[in-house]
Amino acid sequence: MNINLTLIGQVIAFFGFVWFCMKFVWPPIVNAMAEREKKIADGLAAADRASHDLELAQEKALERLKDAKHEAAGIVESANKRANQIIEEAKAAAQVEAERVKTSARAEIEQETNRAREALRSQVATLSLAGAEKVLGATIDRDAHAELVNKLAAEL
């Protein structure tokens, strides 16, 4: 229980350890802890931000989806309209074409008829002249009676 040099030794040791702790121990530990604290805080903030962003993105996606649906419906509708229109147009064009074909066919028939009639007529004249020639047994003056025969042919 004596007070002696141990006292001085302990004072020296005290300052030695305190100095050592202040110089080499405390700063790196505290810095690392502060850094970690900051990192965690940053991480939490980032997580918050991310969840908020996610919410926004979901909202936006929903909106986009709605828009897209709307647009798709519009496109389908207009496509239907256009299809109907095309059908109508095709119908009309077909009718017109049919009419045209019919008309041209009719004209051709008429033409053929006329041509046949003309041919028949010319042949009638010749035939009747030949018949008359035979019946009369005499030569008929072709020029004198041509007018008469032609008149007959025209009546046919």
Partner 1 sequence: MAGENQTVSEYIVHHLTNLTWGKLPEGYERYDGSVVGEGGAWVMAHGGQEASDMGFTAIHVDSMVWSVGLGVIFSWLFLRLARQANAGVPSGLSNFLEMIVEFVGNTVRDTFHGRNPLIAPLSLTIFVWIFLMNLMDLVPVDLVPWTLMQLGVEYHKIVPSTDPNITFGLSIGVLILILFYSIKVKGFGFAKELALNPFNHWLFIPVNLFMEIVGLLAKPFSLALRLFGNMYAGEMIFILIAALFSAGVAWMLPAGLLQIGWAIFHILVITLQAFIFMVLTIVYLSMAHEDH
Which residues lie near partner 1 (CB under 8 A)? 1-11, 13-18, 20-22, 24-33, 35-36, 38-39
CA dist 33 → 10, 21, 37, 100, 133 (Å): 31, 16, 6, 96, 143
Nearer to partner 1, 11 or 146 (CB): 11
Half-sphere exposure of 27 (CA within 13 A, CB side): 5
Q: Quote the least distance from Cβ 43 to partner 1, whole Å.
A: 11
Q: What is the DSSP letter of 14?
A: H
CA dist 133 → 69, 85, 148 (Å): 94, 71, 14
Q: Quote the least distance from Cβ 3 to partner 1, whole Å.
A: 6
Nearer to partner 1, 35 or 108 (CB): 35
Nearer to partner 1, 35 or 97 (CB): 35
Q: Quote the least distance from Cβ 50 to partner 1, whole Å.
A: 21
